[in-house]
Structure 1
Amino acid sequence: MPASSAIKVAAMALVGSLSAAQMLAPTNDINLPASETASEPLKWLGANSPWFAGPNVYNISSEIPENCYVDQAAYVSRHGSRFPDTGAYAGWVDMQERFSSGNYTATGSLSFMKDWRTVLTNVGLQIAMESPTGAKEAHDLGYTLRTRYPQLYNEGDDFYVWSNNYTRVLQTAQMFAQSYLGFTSSTYGKVISVTSKGYTGAIGNSLGPSDQCPNFNDNSGGDYATEWANVYIPPIKERLQSLIEGNFTFEDNDISQIPYLCGFESQITGRLSPWCGVFTDYELQQYEYSNDIRYYYGLGPGTDLEQTMMLPYLNALIGLLEQGPGTNGTAQDGGSFALPNLLATFINDGQLVELITASGVFDDEPALSGTEMNPDRLFIASHFTTMRGTIAFERLNCIVDGSTGNGTSGTGPTWNSSTTLTTATATGTGSIPRQTALASANATYVRIRLNDAVYTLPSCNDGPGQSCLLSDYVQYLSDKAAAAGDWVSNCNITVAGAPTTVQGASFYTDLTSPWLQELNPGNVVLSNS
């Protein structure tokens, strides 16, 4: 069916979710085995965890709500699992040299330590690149989204994917497109690389806006991070030191690097690293909390300027959902192209945290303490900033009581989950049914998912499946941007030719900008040059 026809059907459809679909895509991309000391070591590593489906913290089904279907969606993901950067790898080499020398014997869970060697086999080729697990995460996401929303793509249509211009991010985007499109990816797939530096037009209009914000300062958690490190590291250090017989003394950095090595070595080799069998469950949770503090006070709700970096982008993105499916843009050659009804975008961890914070899901989250963990906290980096961590915005087209509105104004319609359909066929996946009789109006809502789990907005959750009326969410973001103040002034941007008002994300609908480059998914980027 042509896209225009599908959109027309969607506008008329009333959906009944008659049964939950039995999807073939696995819940998680990889196994998450226990070690000898911890039950789920790979789930407590914050940004260093491989991707896994987030826990259902609100006890809300991720199935499409009854009488709704998804007619548009936006997925914004971090790059997949990767090899270490140059600096991190240098730290590994230093640890290897210190651990392999000296007159000592490591016992118990550290008995492997003296013989441990780093797992990279071709440093020049591997450093900072996507790992095999990262490739699988990207491919699995492509398959999952293609089968989760079959109605959002018509075979043979051009399909655009957007990516921050970092090699591993581009690699993730390209491998996602390969899987999403399959054998046609080189023909119909296009990855748009968005450069965030060096162009005044890209100021506040890229996938890495902080790169051109002089006042931006990621302090990695600042004093709170130091305070927490002083709480959790010494007892672990003392315990591990007791497993050493002879002349070797752990450094504080060694302790914080052990979980890091657990995550990285496991996803690089595809086998659970021996470092995953050193910390206990509770010690890993303490390490996880150090990641929470790092992001909360470095880029997230505990910051002032930093948490607003992706707000212009989010306003622009949700504006596209407000326009609805079938939007056209300007291609590189000046012609027209159809914006995909599934918008897939790939960024880095910092931008992801900024974006999730801007979304509003943590608006009511109490501030994190630097001295003790709150077991009931919602802000847990392992649940959304993992490798290939994801925030998704689903546009839900739902049946409502037609007498109270059409969902396009702030007054809002009445959601009626008991409304029955005259004739409808539904799969439970959000696919568009056939419909022969209409009894009510339709309204559009937005639902947010972090690593697939549904999250609610504290101030707007009275829609189906605790979603938010889309027009209300648009207003919420507009008010939030107004309260944040002028982005250019806040950043203290003084460069000649800088925009007075930032556009946020013009690159979705205008591919002619000089900081954009179109790449073929089949020609995967192989270096950082």
Structure 2
Amino acid sequence: MVDEKQFCQVGKAAYVRIHGGVRRWHPAIILSLVTTASILALRLCGLGPTLLPITLLPVPAHHQNFELYRHLGHLSPFFVPPNTPESLDSGVPPACTISKAFLVHRHGSRHPHADELDIIQDLSYYINNNSALFSNPHAEIPDGWTFLTEGWNASFGTDDLTAPGRQQLFDHGVELRLQYPELYTETNVLAGDEDRVVESARWFMDGYYRRDSNSTARLDIVGEDEDTVSWITPHQTCAKWNTSYGDDVVSEWRAVYLPPIAKRINRILSKAYPDVNFTAAHVHGMLFTCAYGTSVHGVGSSPWCPVFLPKEVMQNEYESDLRMRGFSGYGLPGEMGSVLGSLLVSNMTAFLQQDTGAKLSFGFGHDKTIALGLTALGLAADKSYPPTGPVNPDRSWRAAKQMPFAANMLFKRLECAEEDRVQLTLNGANFDLGPIGCESDEFGSCAFEDFLSTTKVQAAMNVTHGDERWKSACSLNES
């Protein structure tokens, strides 16, 4: 058995070799390699506030001051963003305690959807069908592209939760238990009936409760189909909604930003590979592979991420924002977005108004769940979102910040000296509720009664599935 002194000597030696080496390595957390326990243990050895293990790939010069993994849109690995706006204070207002909280949680990092995998595989087919080209360069291969000489295969599944995804949810369960011990609740946990969502909920429960969580709290699974009314997937019972919403604007933007990237890549590879001909579609596959290589194998593991310039990554991020806005946000026709998101808002407000019962409500769903909730509340709204650019770098709707993998909204009711208040923490950062129509403080919180009386919240609370507003937004017979 290794004693504490020996453990720390080994840990410090490894730390020096990693961070004092000749090459600079990207300091990112490889969740599949380093456990929470080992990080905490090494902190005790005086290795600083956070141990940052190496990634698999060195950082290219153009990414030295660029946080690439915070710009992968809704496919970003979980991170804690700045407060919104950044001027907000963190924490809760003084003289306030949290009495109840309503948690909305997205599933963790996953494998690609089938249609996304098709795009990735087309890239793989092109590379492997041209193995003679890539294995026999005519000149020195540009930095970052040597992996092409051995071919490249798309080793992904479809839809399932990944190892980093499992870690994200377990860690979030632990963090919630430690951060809000006063809210500890043995209650039922709600999850949408999708494998990755159910598994995410179970990993969270293991972190929050313990390994035998099923004996402490029951997992209730709610259908994700056109017959089951649910605030987790309200779009499923909206006949007019379909996944193609937003496709037109996304296609417009792809036609703008992808061809120049393909042209740049072909140009820099042309000396080594004179016949290279990566298309805009191939570039789209490269960008998906960067995101899903990260999702499956961890930050820094995909050889495709370093080949892009920061501006190209951010152009792809805008595609993600357009996509999420188009099929689960303000880009939906008419009132559809706010009507669908109203089910989340009405369930949240009903829970927070209860003076008895459980202190915590747990619900697990998708990125759309969070996006629709924001839309119903009028949060993260932008006046203009042009599908052909220019891209507003200060836009409010940012999928990477608001709905990355393992995203979570925590609505908190606060008991304060003067009055009860309500606060939203989105992905661990305070999010100003003022745009809803109530007067917010420096922590982003509003007086609870003022929040409930705003036009947005009242409208959401008064929507019932199948009522006139619902029919107007969702009925195929309505124009």
1:279 and 2:308 equivalent? yes
| Residue matched to 1:213 | 238
Q: Provide the C-alpha distance between the structure 2 equivalents of 1:32 and 1:372, rounded to a whole number of angstroms.
A: 36
Q: Provide the C-alpha distance between the structure 2 equivalents of 1:220 and 1:251, rounded to a whole number of angstroms.
A: 25
8 Å CA contact retained: 2:89, 2:442: no
Change (3 A) 1:485 1:284: farther
Aligned match of 1:268 in 293, 296, 299?
296
Aligned match of 1:491 in 460, 474, 477?
474
Aligned match of 1:111 in 146, 168, 186?
146
1:468 and 2:446 equivalent? yes
Change (3 A) 1:461 1:264: farther
Change (3 A) 1:281 1:215: same
TM-score normalized with structure 2 length? 0.78
| Residue matched to 1:435 | none
8 Å CA contact retained: 2:339, 2:473: no
Unaligned runs of 5+ in 1: 1-23, 328-339, 401-442, 495-529
Q: Provide the C-alpha distance between the structure 1 equivalents of 2:460 and 2:212, rounded to a whole number of angstroms.
A: 41
SS of residue paired to 1:352: helix
Between Structure 1 and Structure 2, which shows a larger proportion of helix residues?
2
Question: 1:69-84, aligned counterparts within 5 Å?
Answer: 69-84=97-112
Aligned match of 1:377 in 382, 395, 400?
395
| Residue matched to 1:406 | none
- Amino acid of the residue matched to residue 353 of structure 2? E
Change (3 A) 1:52 1:116: farther
8 Å CA contact retained: 2:102, 2:351: no
- Amino acid of the residue matched to residue 47 of structure 1? H
8 Å CA contact retained: 1:162, 1:192: yes
SS of residue paired to 1:396: strand
Change (3 A) 1:226 1:84: closer
- Amino acid of the residue matched to residue 129 of structure 1? D
- Amino acid of the residue matched to residue 289 of structure 1? Y
Q: Provide the C-alpha distance between the structure 1 equivalents of 2:74 and 2:282, rounded to a whole number of angstroms.
A: 18
8 Å CA contact retained: 1:32, 1:42: no
Q: Say how many residue pairs are matched.
A: 405
SS of residue paired to 2:161: coil
| Residue matched to 1:291 | 320
Unaligned runs of 5+ in 2: 1-39, 44-48
Change (3 A) 1:173 1:224: same
Q: Provide the C-alpha distance between the structure 2 equivalents of 1:259 and 1:52, rounded to a whole number of angstroms.
A: 19
8 Å CA contact retained: 2:119, 2:284: no
Deviations 1:345-370 (A, max 9, x none): 1111222211122232224x322122
Quote how far apart the aligned CAs of 1:114 are: 4.8
8 Å CA contact retained: 1:49, 1:382: yes
Q: Provide the C-alpha distance between the structure 1 equivalents of 2:439 and 2:447, rounded to a whole number of angstroms.
A: 8
| Residue matched to 1:354 | 372
| Residue matched to 2:162 | 131
8 Å CA contact retained: 1:48, 1:386: yes
1:90 and 2:127 equivalent? no
TM-score normalized with structure 1 length? 0.71
Q: Provide the C-alpha distance between the structure 2 equivalents of 1:351 and 1:239, rounded to a whole number of angstroms.
A: 37
Question: 1:50-65, aligned counterparts within 5 Å?
Answer: 50-58=77-85, 59-65=87-93
Calculate the aligned-residue CA RMSD, in Å.
2.8
- Amino acid of the residue matched to residue 367 of structure 1? S
Q: Provide the C-alpha distance between the structure 2 equivalents of 1:318 and 1:464, rounded to a whole number of angstroms.
A: 22
Aligned match of 2:59 in 26, 35, 46?
35
Quote how far apart the aligned CAs of 1:486 are: 1.9
Q: Provide the C-alpha distance between the structure 1 equivalents of 2:160 and 2:308, rounded to a whole number of angstroms.
A: 27
Q: Provide the C-alpha distance between the structure 1 equivalents of 2:344 and 2:191, rounded to a whole number of angstroms.
A: 14
Between Structure 1 and Structure 2, which shows a larger proportion of strand residues?
1
Aligned match of 2:359 in 341, 357, 370?
341
Deviations 1:304-354 (A, max 9, x none): 213421212311221110123x23xxxxxxxxxxxx312121111222211
| Residue matched to 1:257 | 285
Change (3 A) 1:318 1:29: farther
Deviations 1:245-278 (A, max 9, x none): 2333122222123222112112312351111111
Change (3 A) 1:357 1:35: farther
Where relative contact order (Cα < 8 A, 6+ residues apart) is larger, the structure is: 1
| Residue matched to 1:317 | 348
8 Å CA contact retained: 2:97, 2:416: yes
- Amino acid of the residue matched to residue 469 of structure 1? A
Q: Provide the C-alpha distance between the structure 2 equivalents of 1:455 and 1:350, rounded to a whole number of angstroms.
A: 18
